[in-house]
Each structure stands twice: as structure tokens, then as C-alpha cells.
Amino acid sequence: MTRSLREVVFVDGVRTPFGKAGPKGMYAQTRADDLVVRCIRELMRRNPQLPADRVDEVAIAATTQIGDQGLTIGRTAALLAGLPKSVPGFAIDRMCAGAMTAVTTTASGIAFGAYDVAIAGGVEHMGHHPMGEGVDPNPRFVSEKIVDSSALVMGSTAENLHDRYPHLTKERADAFAVGSQDKYAAALAAGKIGPELVPVATRSAEQGWGLATADEPPRPGTTVEGLADLKTPFRPHGHVTAGNAAGLNDGATASLLAAEDVAVELGLPIGMRLVGFGFTGVEPEVMGIGPVPATEKALARTGLTIDDIGLFELNEAFAVQVLAFLDHFGIADDDPRVNPWGGAIAVGHPLASSGVRLMTQLSRQFAERPDVRYGLTAMCIGIGMGGSVIWENPAWEGEK
């Protein structure tokens, strides 16, 4: 029996508005699974030409898979969203790259021929489930010096990255963070942020019912001077602050993937075409460097170079992590190809959901940029990993 791989396309992506985690956040009394259910329903509503029984798999990521993020959330969310009971689902965890891995895993199944259409996404309610809740790290990690104790605290790994690359100063990190806030504000004002958002009904015992329609974390008007004196919670006189890192957030994402021939058959839009991807491990103590070797792997396996990439959507878990990537590849801190609509420092980073936010934004940017052929989505991953996915723009008009 001979097999030929099929082209995989990103059809559509949506997300909830991202909220601030904690008792005062807009999702404080909203269930995590309801957030992702809302995204799945919206995907189906936006693509009525897709029969629900043509969905072959639902893969939903969560970093903390307990409580309202547990119980094989891909399957339970599919049922709650009203998909036919014949549609299976599963849960996935690769910490911050959960949704990214949900995409690459189901896309691989599509390419192989096991699926025609899949839904992939992620959810993280950090207000209900703080990072690390309920985990019991094996004491051998530290006692046998497999990792330094700082490897288990993400903010400390960012400080370690500043140590390793002292030219990545706090001043550069603060300036990059201000740029993220400014670009997000400009994109919001221009209507770039919004079409992908799914309104979510919220409930508060004190304020009653509400409707979440906008992101809660952004801090418009942020200045370098205002960030300069913020506390450095991970180390006295350190570099990482609440201003140059993503916050603690709640939110969900979902995307629709299909074989390209099936998308054409059903009349589904084609937002972008999967070219290749790479995941790799690095020293857990400096997990923020992970996107560098992951991108090198993805480029090598696709025969591309960094010069072929016309748009970058890089997750801003910490400013220093993005700066390390940019320096490695010789890209300026303020290169307009990088996070043109701002990033996680402004909009937030609900861990396992963020990968699909990056992809959804890249897909919409492609539609506006027929001069760009390839784009890249990349992120660092806790416990020392990196992930990178390369996409092709179907609207590319060719060399001129």
C-alpha cells in the first residue's frame, strides 16, 4: 500500500477575549470548559458549510488538567458544544505550547489521511488553576541535579536568560514591552483586533451577568519610564517585572484545520497552508531560548532560511525570550515583521491557549499581505522546550 501526504490548511481561528486571572477578573466565576465550548460553537457558526459530522477529531490543550479543565476536555468540550456524539476528542499538554501541539498533532493526522477535518485549541483559567496547581515534581530533579531549582519557576528562567546574555538588558526588555503595548493599541484602534473574538457571557455574584467583548490585560499608555521602577519579584535587583512579561490570564482558543482538497470540496476558506514545524528541548534553566533551536529545526526540515520568513508571531512570555530569538537571527528589536499587532505582554498569555492566538493573527495578516509568502509562529515552553511552526500564505502573489 502506498501513501501520499496531503496538504493541511488552517481554515479559521477564534478566541475569547483574554481576561485577568484572579477574583476580580472578568472570568472569575466562568468555567474554563465553557470558554472553549464557546470557541468551538463559534467556529461552527462561522463555517456553516461544514457539516458537524465531518469533524473527525477535537484536540484541546490545558496545562492544568484538573477541575473544570479536566475530564479529557477535548471530548467533553465537543459534547458540550453540541457536536455529534460520534466526534471523538482528547486532551493534550505541552505547557505553553499546548494549543500549538494540538494543531501540529491533528495536522499530522490530516496529512497522513486519518482525518479530513479537525478542531484544535486550548484553554487556561489561571484564576481557577494557578500554574503548577496539584503537581508533585519528583525530588530527584533537584537532589540529583538534573535541573537547577530555578528551572521550575518560569520567571526565574527568564532571569537566567538575562544572565546568560547580559547584552539583553532590562532597558531593552522594557522598551520592547512598551512597543508591544503600543502596537496592540494601534491594531485595536484600526480594527485589526476584534474580528477573531468570541463574546462570552459572564457572571458575577456581585455585579450580575455581563458580556466579555474586549481583552482585559492591555495597559495602553505604558511608558519606559513607568516600567523602570517596577518590582522584580523573581530576584532582588533583577530584570523581569510585571511590565516586561505576560501576566496571569484566563482565556481559550480554537481553530479549524482541514486537508486542502477537503476544504475546497466543502467551500471552506483557506487562511494558510502548513509548511512544517519543529519542537526541541533545551536546558530547563533557560527555557526561553527554546524557540531558537526549534526554528532552526523547522527551517532545516523545510529547506527555508530565516530570510524567507516575512511575518513573525512570537509569543511574548517574557520580553527577554523574544529578544534572545531576535538577536540570534539578526533581527532588530523593532522590526515591523515581528508581532505587528502586539503580543502577549499586552494581550495576555493564558498558557495552553496561546499558540492558536498566534496562528489566528498570522492567518489574518496573510490576507492583508499578498507580498509575504511565509510566516512563522513560535514560542518557548516550560521545562525547557521550544516550538516553531512555518506557514505559507495562500494569497501570495508570487515574485514581482
Catalytic residue numbers read 96, 349, 380
- Give the integer Cα–Cα distance in Å for 313 and 358: 6
Asked if residue 187 lies in contact with residue 342, where contact means CB atoms within 8 angstroms, the answer is yes
User: CA-based angle 53:57:61, to the nearest 5?
Assistant: 140
114 grid coordinates: 486519518
297 grid coordinates: 529545526
Asked if residue 318 lies in contact with residue 347, where contact means CB atoms within 8 angstroms, the answer is no
In terms of Cβ atoms closer than 10 Å to its own Cβ (0-12, 13-18, 19+), residue 108 is middle
- With CA atoms as reference, report the closest residue to 93 among 141, 149, 134, 43: 134
Asked if residue 146 lies in contact with residue 140, where contact means CB atoms within 8 angstroms, the answer is yes
